[in-house]
Amino acid sequence: MIGISFTQASMAARKRIALVAHDHCKTFLLDWAERQKDKLAEHDLLATGTTGQLLHKRLGLPVESMISGPLGGDQQLGARIAEQRVDMLVFFWDPFEPQPHDPDIKALLRVAAVWNIPVACNECSADYLLSSPLMEQAHSYRIPDYPAYLSGRR
C-alpha cells in the first residue's frame, strides 16, 4: 500500500465481534452461533439489524444491533471498524445471490482489510477463528498509522 505507514495496536482479550449474515445464510450463522455460544458469551457482540435480532432471540445474549444491512447497517459496522471499535467480523455473505446494497458490502469488507481485523466469511473459517488461542488473550497487531498518514497530507 503506497503512502501508508503502519503501527502496532493492542487487541484486548475480550473482543468486539461483529456478526452479519445474508438472508439465505442466516440459518447457518444462527446454528453456528448456538454451537459456539459459550465462547461468544465471553465477548461483546454486535450485528446488523435483522441478524442481531435473530441472534439475541436464539442465544439470549446481549447483541448491539445496527440498522438492517440494506438500510445502512453494513456502513455502520464499517464506520465502527474505522474507529477501531470492532475487533473481528464474522460475515456469512451470500455467494449465490446478488444484493441490492453490494457497494456497502464491498465497503465493509474493504475497511476490515484496511484495519487488519480477522474476518470469517463462512462457518469453517469462523470455527478456525474462534479456536485460535488469540481469542483469549490480548495481542498486538498492525494497523495504519493515521497520525503519520495525516502529517504526510500537506
Nearer residue to ligand 13P within complex by CB, 20 or 30: 20
List binders of ligand 13P among 47-86 (CB under 6 A): 48-51, 68-70, 73-74
For 107, the grid coordinates are 465497503
Nearer residue to ligand 13P within complex by CB, 70 or 144: 70
Q: How far is CA 31 from the centre of its chain?
A: 18
27 annotated as a binding-site residue: no
Within the chain, how many helices (H) and strands (E) appear?
A: 7, 7
Q: Is 87 a catalytic residue?
A: no
Number of Cα atoms under 13 Å in the Cβ half of residue 51:
32
Q: CB 21 → ligand 13P: shortest distance, Å?
A: 6
63 by DSSP, 3-state: which? strand
50 annotated as a binding-site residue: yes
Binding site for ligand 13P (CB under 6 A): 20, 22, 48-51, 68-70, 73-74, 105
